[in-house]
Amino acid sequence: MTALYQFQINPKLDLVLERTIDVPVELVWKVWTTPEHIKPWFCPKPWSVTHCEIDLRPGGVFKTTMRSPEGQEFPNAGCYLEVVPLKRLVFTDTLEPGFRPAQNPFFTAVLELTANGKGGTHYKAIAIHRDPEGAKKHEEMGFYDGWGTVVTQMVEYIKAGHVK
């Protein structure tokens, strides 16, 4: 399957995190698409993921439950819009599984992975928002620090040999 569209960044609506990481794209893909591999790194510690459900196909579920250090749980459910193995994942909380409209949409995420030819990965995560207020709220919630921490945790998890 090839990408359905070429996404254009809108700096008023989109938050972007880009890094070159020194782990192979195949392992990055695996930890992003396997529930047991999502749980250890997907939210900044001391937060944790207590549940993850993945149906890796357009319209399929991407669901996580995050737990705060105080024990409060935050379920997040959405669906995949696009799945291009080893290259791109697009998922959203704007739609629930089966492309059903969600009650409280917040953003759509685009994850783009490119092998860098040196055994590493160019990692690009984009959070797409409906309006500038939503983008600002997400940025103020700690998008850059939080998503950056998560990438670091993901790389550490892969390098620790938890995924083959």
pLDDT tens string 56-85: 999 999 999 999 999 999 999 999 999 999
Neighbours of 5 (CB within 10 A): 7
Beta partners for residue 108, in sequence order: 92, 128
The pLDDT confidence band at residue 7, using thresholds 50, 70 and 90, is confident
- Between CA 77 and CA 96 the distance in angstroms is 7
Instruction: Spell out where the chain has E strands.
Output: 14-21, 48-54, 61-67, 73-84, 88-92, 95-96, 100-101, 108-115, 121-128
- Between CA 128 and CA 94 the distance in angstroms is 11
71 Cβ partners below 8 Å, 6+ apart? none
Token couple for 136? 């600002």
- Between CA 38 and CA 133 the distance in angstroms is 29
Token couple for 69? 């250090």
Token couple for 62? 């991407």
Q: Is 134 helix (H, G, I), strand (E, B) or coil?
A: helix
Q: Is 119 helix (H, G, I), strand (E, B) or coil?
A: coil
Token couple for 117? 């030819």
In tens, the pLDDT along 81-121 reads 999 999 999 999 999 989 999 888 889 999 999 999 899 99
Annotated domain spans of the chain: 14-159
Q: Which of 163, 129, 123 is nearest to 147 (CA)?
A: 123
What's 24's DSSP letter? -
The pLDDT assigned to 8 comes to 87
Enclosing H/E stretch for 148: helix 143-159
Tell me which residue has tokens 């409280």. Answer: 104
In tens, the pLDDT along 12-50 reads 999 999 999 999 999 999 999 999 999 999 999 999 999
The pLDDT assigned to 1 comes to 43
Provide the CATH topology of domain 14-159: Alpha-D-Glucose-1,6-Bisphosphate; Chain A, domain 4 (3.30.530)
